[in-house]
Amino acid sequence: MSILQVGRLEPQLAELVEQSHRPLLLPPPGPDRARFLAEHGNAVTVVLASGGPGLDDELFAALPRLGAIVNNGAGVDNIDVEAAARRGIGVSNTPDVLSDTVADTAIGLMLMCLRRFGVADRYVREGRWSADGAFPYARDLTGSVVGILGLGRLGAAVAERLQPFDCTVAYHNRRRVEGSPYRYAESARELAQSVDVLVVATAGGKGTEKLVDREVLAALGPQGYLINIARGSVVDEDALIELLSTGALAGAGLDVFADEPHVPAALRALDNVVLFPHIGSATKRTRRAMAQLTLRNLESYLSTGELVTPVVPPASS
């Protein structure tokens, strides 16, 4: 029985894992990987994953005894969950423990975009306050209409934080959330058309790829702001850049990108965009909690064959 590590582990998780396990490390694609899988593939029963592509049916086929993928992160868009389900492979993630911290990040991005705090900071540092006079007026978050695309754990945490700002909240999901106090929109476009700020908090993966397309962004309009704390794949990045550059969209706050860590120069050049290096959950407390939950899933599977926080595969169409 062997544990296979795929991707680079967070330091806190690596420290916990090394105390009781010595996982094998999957080499990068190429001849070394093929040789490694031929030698060790039949012994692997658990994959310990931490981001990165390649957790697909081709890899699963080379691991005939694989029973579980333990993922350090809430998102599982780097894992072919449907292929895993077909082979009877369980998948776990780290939900809940990072929702509060990422929701805090969303509020920070909203404030920085609407109040232009980052631009104001540069205004002072560049000596423009004394040279050019008072900083131009910005917009209030208080009293805004905010749409949340994906009212799951994270989206609900964002909505809760908006209440002290006296914001009106609306949302779009594949299905209505029973008992939700917020207005439901039938589509992403309808939601975007009716709000000042659109927060993307949905899961990544094939089912949501470019869900926020040119039409949705155009519906948000020249007074609208996009906040993305989900996955870069959910937003049509080329369309976003075009609309921001032409004034068809007021601004954006982005913690995630289509090809991380590579951020297009066109985005970096825009002054109406706030850019974070995917730090939504990057606090010591949260990353420690994620590492501990990942280890709990690993230990539980090794001892009982059960995962603590299993991911439910999508229903077959």
Q: Which residues have a catalytic role annotated? A: 231, 260, 278
β-partners of residue 71 are: 49
DSSP codes joined into one string, 270-288: -TTEEE--S-TT-SHHHHH
Contact 48, 6 (CB under 8 A): yes
- Distance between CA atoms of residues 77 and 316, nearest Å: 17
Q: Residue 21 is encoded by which pair of tokens?
A: 């396990």
Helix (H/G/I), strand (E/B), else coil: 116:
coil
Q: Which residue has the tokens 């120069």?
A: 265
Up-side HSE of residue 65: CA atoms within 13 Å toward CB? 13
**Residue 203 class from Cβ within 10 Å (0-12 exposed, 13-18 middle, 19+ buried)?**
middle
Kind and range of the H or E element at 112? helix 99-115
